[in-house]
Every structure is written in structure tokens, then in C-alpha cells.
């Protein structure tokens, strides 16, 4: 669970999972100060990090000599009603072509990617709607 709290700075929000905290903001063009990650950046980051971790975990379990991975994710929202996440993976290490292919196939098993590939619904939790902050 993530909790996001507004700050006195317009559009800046702090978010936490109870152990870690980070900051989000919107762009200058949208009235923000660019003081943190944009919400869409965080969607890209979630997928990029999950792809990276999934590949590295798989390589470690299979004793594939992967020494590093770099994943770049870009969200494209050019088409109305459609969002496309494009990713690129660069692998480091003394890897055979077969090992590289195996690791790239593993990327499709990334849990965040699987989640984003399903039908997603967003709904309000009615149990606390409209209560004053802290209640």
C-alpha cells in the first residue's frame, strides 16, 4: 500500500509505503516545479525496475554469468484509449547468444509487466471516503 500526502508546495506530494519515502511533482508546464518524479515516470520506473530484477534473479538462479542489466522504459500515449510501454534491455557479461535470448524471454515473466498487460480497473475505497485527514 502506498499513501500519498500533499505538501505546502503546489502539486508536490510525498508518498510512502511506511518504510520508504519519495517525492512526486508535475512538470513546469502544468504548474509544478519539477521537484520529483511525475506519476507517469513512476509507472515507467515500476516496469523498468521489475524487468531488471526479474532478469537478474533468473540469471542468478540459473548461474548465467550476467554482470549487469540496464533497462529503459518509455510510455507512449499517442493513441487515444491506448497506452504502450516500450522497453529496451542491455545485458552485460560474458553471455552466449542462447543465454541472452533466455534472459530476454524471462523479461516477459516480470510481475509488473504481467499486471500492466491485464485489464485494469480503478475504483474508490468507500470505507474512508471524504473523512478529514488523519481520521
**Contact between residue 22 and residue 14 where contact means Cβ atoms under 8 Å apart:** yes
Correct CATH for 39-116 of 3.60.21.10, 3.80.10.10, 3.30.300.20, 3.40.50.720: 3.30.300.20
- CA-based angle 109:110:114, to the nearest 5? 80
The Cβ of residue 33 has, within 10 Å, a number of other Cβ atoms equal to 13
Domain boundaries, the chain: 1-37, 39-116
pLDDT for residue 53: 97
Please name every residue paired with 86 in a beta bridge, in sequence order, or none if there are none.
74
**Contact between residue 58 and residue 100 where contact means Cβ atoms under 8 Å apart:** no
Which one has a higher pLDDT value, 132 or 122? 122
pTM beyond cutoff 0.85: yes
Amino acid at each position: 500500500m502506498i499513501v500519498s500526502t500533499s505538501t505546502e508546495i503546489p502539486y508536490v506530494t510525498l508518498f510512502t509505503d511506511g518504510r520508504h519515502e519519495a517525492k512526486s511533482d508535475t512538470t513546469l508546464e502544468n504548474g509544478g516545479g519539477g521537484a520529483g518524479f511525475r506519476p507517469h515516470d513512476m509507472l515507467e520506473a515500476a516496469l523498468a525496475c521489475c524487468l531488471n530484477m526479474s532478469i537478474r534473479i533468473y540469471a542468478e538462479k540459473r548461474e548465467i554469468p550476467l554482470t549487469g542489466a540496464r533497462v529503459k522504459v518509455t510510455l507512449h500515449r499517442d493513441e487515444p484509449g491506448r497506452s504502450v510501454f516500450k522497453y529496451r534491455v542491455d545485458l552485460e557479461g560474458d553471455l552466449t547468444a542462447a543465454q541472452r535470448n533466455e534472459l530476454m524471454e524471462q523479461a516477459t515473466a516480470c510481475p509488473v509487466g504481467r499486471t500492466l498487460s491485464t485489464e485494469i480497473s480503478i475504483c474508490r475505497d468507500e470505507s474512508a471516503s471524504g473523512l478529514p485527514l488523519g481520521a
